């Protein structure tokens, strides 16, 4: 008998879960329907950097999950045959304002390099060396280069993942659905029952689980990014991304697209309107390093809504006392890094495979769901 699985939410968690449910052994016994309206989705609005190893965050569970996520990416990209437009390992340049702080971080990175193969090689770069790696910079800082770092375009990434899954056992419905009190789904075709439901609705998860009498402790955060068109010679291909301390990430893509972001706005709720002040702030942040940028080069502004928990940590697992409902969320601004690992874990759970050591990556779901 074919198991009927629903996924609500087509962001990084839902899309990865959908792909693995179409790819892992046993997929022939599963049919997946993914419901996603798409409005405000953080992943589709995001372009980011996959490079968690030198993060200032000291949450051990978050780091373990993010580290596994970064390690998963090359395999996932290979298995799903994703394009370089979606993901490319170009290396990351991390900076610090203080030279002594940079040296301390470099020594920490060299220690991690010995037992973290996904990091690749670690190099301490002078400002001149950074400029050679990122020639579009006019005022380059010194930094640390981590060759295993990568850039990702969230929209392309989930779109390509879902296309691969659709070639097998996935049906996509572009609509907003809701749970009933008995756990079925209200859809445009009426009420439907599924054997397992994965709920990955990000900042909207509180609303999603209310019909089950559950309160999810997540809050929305608005994030805005800008795309700029920059004239880049053909030789400026595959440039690394840069994570300047205390400023906006600089993410160059081949073909002359430059992404700067992102903002972190806690008091905007679910508002998705782009703000001129945010655009100017992002442009100013980038101009510290690239003083030739102008507002006329801004070609697009992306806006999405992230989900945050009280302890700024993601969570995933089965809903308490209701094992047929699986959730994953609270990813925050770094969600592109741990998101695929959560999707993978949830897919394994659908197959009935026990996931050992979940406690290494997340607190119990009951910590975030009343």
Are residues 297 and 352 both part of a single domain?
Answer: no
Domain boundary among 261, 288, 306: 306
DSSP string for 294-309? -GGGEEEEEEEEEEE-
Question: Is 62 among the domain residues?
Answer: no
Per-residue pLDDT tens over the stretch 241-289:
999 999 999 999 999 999 999 999 998 889 999 999 999 999 999 999 9
Domain tally for the chain? 2
- CATH code at position 208: 3.50.50.60
Query: What integer pLDDT is reported at residue 321 of this predicted model?
Result: 87
Question: Is 213 among the domain residues?
Answer: yes
Question: Is 293 among the domain residues?
Answer: yes
Are residues 140 and 241 both part of a single domain?
Answer: yes
342 bridge partner residues: none
Question: Is 84 among the domain residues?
Answer: no
- CATH code at position 291: 3.30.9.10
Separation CA 287–CA 139 (nearest Å): 9
Residues lower than pLDDT 70 in the chain: none
Query: What integer pLDDT is reported at residue 111 of this predicted model?
Result: 96
DSSP string for 72-109? HHHHHHHHHT--TTTEE---EEE--SSHHHHHHHHHHH
Domain boundary among 306, 338, 358: 306
Question: Is 262 among the domain residues?
Answer: yes
Question: Is 138 among the domain residues?
Answer: yes
* Helix spans in the chain (H): 12-23, 42-45, 60-80, 99-113, 127-133, 154-166, 205-209, 276-287, 339-350
pTM of the full structure: 0.96
Per-residue pLDDT tens over the stretch 209-219:
999 999 999 99
Burial class (CB within 10 angstroms; exposed 0-12, middle 13-18, buried 19+) of 32? buried
Are residues 201 and 244 both part of a single domain?
Answer: no
Are residues 186 and 278 both part of a single domain?
Answer: no
Are residues 159 and 300 both part of a single domain?
Answer: no
Are residues 103 and 140 both part of a single domain?
Answer: yes
Query: What integer pLDDT is reported at residue 318 of this predicted model?
Result: 93
Query: What integer pLDDT is reported at residue 197 of this predicted model?
Result: 97
Domain boundary among 263, 285, 306: 306
Are residues 202 and 328 both part of a single domain?
Answer: yes
Are residues 14 and 145 both part of a single domain?
Answer: no
Number of helices and strands in the chain (H, E): 9, 20
Are residues 213 and 224 both part of a single domain?
Answer: no
Are residues 226 and 270 both part of a single domain?
Answer: yes
Query: What integer pLDDT is reported at residue 57 of this predicted model?
Result: 86
Query: What integer pLDDT is reported at residue 188 of this predicted model?
Result: 95
Question: Is 125 among the domain residues?
Answer: yes
What element of type H or E holds 35?
strand 30-35
Question: Is 49 among the domain residues?
Answer: no
- Structural domain that includes position 229: 89-151+219-306
Are residues 280 and 315 both part of a single domain?
Answer: no
327 bridge partner residues: 199, 317
Are residues 161 and 301 both part of a single domain?
Answer: no
What are the angstrom distances between the C-alpha of 116 and each of 53, 122, 219, 340, 361? 9, 11, 33, 19, 17
């Amino acid at each position: 008998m074919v198991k009927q699985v629903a996924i609500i939410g087509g962001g990084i968690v839902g899309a990865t879960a959908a792909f693995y449910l179409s790819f892992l052994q046993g997929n022939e016994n599963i049919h997946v329907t993914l419901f996603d309206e798409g409005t405000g989705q953080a992943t589709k609005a995001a372009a980011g950097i996959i490079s968690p190893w030198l993060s200032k965050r000291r949450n051990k569970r978050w780091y373990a999950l993010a580290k596994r996520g970064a390690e998963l990416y090359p395999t996932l990209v290979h298995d799903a045959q994703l394009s370089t437009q979606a993901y490319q390992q170009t290396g990351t340049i991390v900076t610090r304002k203080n030279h002594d702080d940079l040296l301390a971080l470099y020594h920490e990175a060299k220690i991690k390099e010995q037992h973290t193969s996904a990091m690749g090689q670690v190099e301490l770069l002078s400002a001149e060396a950074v400029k050679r790696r990122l020639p579009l910079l006019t005022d380059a800082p010194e930094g640390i280069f981590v060759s295993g770092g990568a850039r990702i375009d969230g929209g392309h990434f989930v779109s390509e993942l879902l296309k691969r899954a659709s070639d097998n056992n996935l049906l996509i419905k572009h609509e907003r659905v809701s749970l009933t009190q008995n756990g079925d789904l209200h859809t445009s075709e009426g009420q439907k029952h599924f054997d397992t439901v994965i709920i990955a609705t990000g900042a909207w998860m509180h609303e999603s689980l209310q019909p089950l009498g559950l309160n999810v402790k997540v809050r929305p955060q608005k994030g805005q990014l800008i795309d700029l068109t920059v004239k880049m010679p053909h030789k400026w291909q595959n440039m690394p991304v840069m994570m300047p301390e205390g400023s906006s990430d600089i993410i160059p893509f081949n073909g002359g697209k430059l992404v700067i972001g992102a903002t972190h706005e806690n008091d905007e709720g679910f508002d998705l309107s782009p703000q001129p002040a945010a655009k100017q702030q992002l442009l100013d942040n980038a101009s510290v390093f690239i003083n030739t940028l102008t507002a006329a080069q801004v070609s697009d502004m992306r806006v999405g809504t992230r989900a945050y928990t009280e302890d700024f940590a993601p969570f995933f697992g089965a809903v308490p006392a209701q094992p047929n409902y699986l959730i994953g969320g609270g990813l925050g601004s770094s969600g592109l890094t741990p998101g695929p690992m959560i999707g993978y874990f949830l897919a394994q759970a659908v197959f009935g495979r026990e996931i050992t050591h979940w406690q290494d990556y997340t607190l119990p779901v009951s910590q975030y769901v009343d």
